[in-house]
Amino acid sequence: MPQFRAPIRDFEFILNEVLNVQQYKEKGLKGFEDVDDNLISALLDQGAKLCEEVLFPLNQSGDEQGVSFDKGNVTLPDGFKEAYKTYIESGWTSFTCDPAYGGQGLPEVLNMPIIEMICSANLSFGMTPGLTHGAYNAIYMHGSDEIKQRYLPKMVDGTWSGVMCLTEPQCGTDLGLITTKATPNDDGSYNIDGSKIFISSGEQDATENIIHLVLAKLPDAPDGVKGISLFVVPKMWVNEDGSIGDANGVSCGSIEHKMGIHASPTCVMNYEGAKGYLVGQKHKGLRAMFTMMNEARLYVGIQGLGLAEIAYQNALEYAKERLQGRDLHGPKYPQKKADPLIVHPDIRRMLLIMKSFCEGARMLALQTALKLDVEKRSEDEQEIEQADHFVQLITPILKAYFTDMGHEVANLGMQIYGGHGYIREYGMEQYARDARIAQIYEGANGIQALDLVGRKLPKDTGKYLRSFFHPATEFVAEHRENSDMAEFTKGLHTALKNAQQASLWVAANGMGDPNEAAAASVDYLKLMAIAVMAYMWAQMALAAQKGIKENSSDSEFYEAKLDTARFFMKKVVPTQYGLLATIVEGAKPVMAARL
């Protein structure tokens, strides 16, 4: 049976010792007024308790039982409805939401650990509240005051959930092909007619109402994506006083039978004269929806990290306990019939790939969340702009790299388990199955790579790139003379040099032929991701060295952190060279080949 222990010490290290989030309280950033060590510890402890004791025990049983469908009604697996009730009663749905609608107004950087723990403990469970938060953001940013007052309070307290409805049978990425129609009524509402597919949590029995954000086209809509509008369409009509009225022409036609996340319903949703209201401006719905999608892409990236973390935890314990073969230098445990797996170099290699990803990705996730907080809460225009540029650049990198690595780490875990990893009892095969979808939804990873080379790299002659390269280069310059940091600044310098060379090649060659940038895009994203992760590891190495000097009682934690940083710099950063070599070979081997 798998186990899960929340990585609280690692969260505390990054939040307190690397990012020093308390400094934003001193700077007067909104939402940080009460942030201190006690609050951070309390939130992490309570989040860990929820995930370890309530959500994780339902993960395997939920996967095996799955959701059920009967005449349009979807029932979640045993225990899920009760767990959701516990979740909302604990206030987790209101964590970062505006107090004007019943939220707690806490910063995103403190919410990110909770999201990661939920993804580790029970990814299927996390889908419903995660999508609700995205729907909340879209309505909060683009809805009228009337719409916000009518829908947000119940979404904030978790009584109602929210979903995003984009995909149709004939279109996924190319949303300009949607055919769902919106017909205006005399009272200012619209009738929505059409079908959507692959709607996660489109129907379930845990919430009183489900608020659908639906992309549709008005009768006078221009062709393509410029003709898309966004509508809020509740499953049950909501009266002006906020009470629930009659059913609203929204029905679930079927659910998908899929590879993973079995405890999360993936629905075909039908809208037959369903009544809704316009969110934002006519024909500008895609912009409003991307408010939801961009943040959702960060959350999907965390799904990859969460599954990687639990895969690593269990693979590590298995490698310590499973006796197989002998150490190549002779028996490490002669009193036993064999040595544990962990003595073997290849097992250690796989575990360190897993560990270095999880810890480096956690740092990047929290730093990105902190930038989101600065962007949303700061009153300094320059600070807001710099934070926005960083988030814009990192979003496709984080979504694609974290989910690619989440699947890879889960598969490495299966490899360490051997045949036991392939059977259900040990749980590892579920993580591999669950992780696979994250590479596809919220914009397939190839699309993220195209976004990086097509939009983010060339934006205003590289202003988004500078949000990363400038501080990372300054870090190298600042600590170059520190002999203790030499091995880490050298690795970071190498990573930056490779990333800059790749960026120049893609920019120069992509201008003449967009296929050159597109063919290089996936390799370029991974190369950039390694450079960004190297910067994360260099910052953590510096904090770990400081920790050793100031907190000798926890020296084992800090020494392990430095060991993992060395592995990343010496074994992961050099993989950039192969990626760079592939990039500069150009598009011809791809585009001219006969298929």
**Residue 270: alpha-carbon gap to chain centroid:** 28
Tokens of 560: 């392990």
Q: How far is CA 403 from CA 88, 444, 479, 542, in A?
A: 27, 10, 32, 27
CA pair distance 460, 458, nearest whole angstrom: 6
Neighbours of 353 (CB within 10 A): 19
CA pair distance 30, 19, nearest whole angstrom: 17
CA pair distance 100, 106, nearest whole angstrom: 13
Residue 263 burial (10 A CB sphere; 0-12, 13-18, 19+): buried
**Residue 418: alpha-carbon gap to chain centroid:** 28
**Letter for the amino acid at 224?**
G
CA pair distance 314, 287, nearest whole angstrom: 41
CA pair distance 414, 27, nearest whole angstrom: 46
Strand partners, 194: 271
**Residue 258: alpha-carbon gap to chain centroid:** 21
If you search the block for the tokens 């296929």, which residue do you land on? Answer: 515
- Residue 309: φ, ψ to 5°: -65, -45
As annotated, the active-site residues are: 442
Helix, strand, or coil (residue 196): strand
Q: How far is CA 323 from CA 6, 338, 343, in A?
A: 26, 5, 10
Q: Can you point out the beta strands (E) in 152-265?
A: 160-165, 181-184, 190-200, 209-216, 229-234, 236-238, 244-247, 250-255
CA pair distance 583, 78, nearest whole angstrom: 49
- Residue 209: φ, ψ to 5°: -150, 155
Residue 568 burial (10 A CB sphere; 0-12, 13-18, 19+): buried
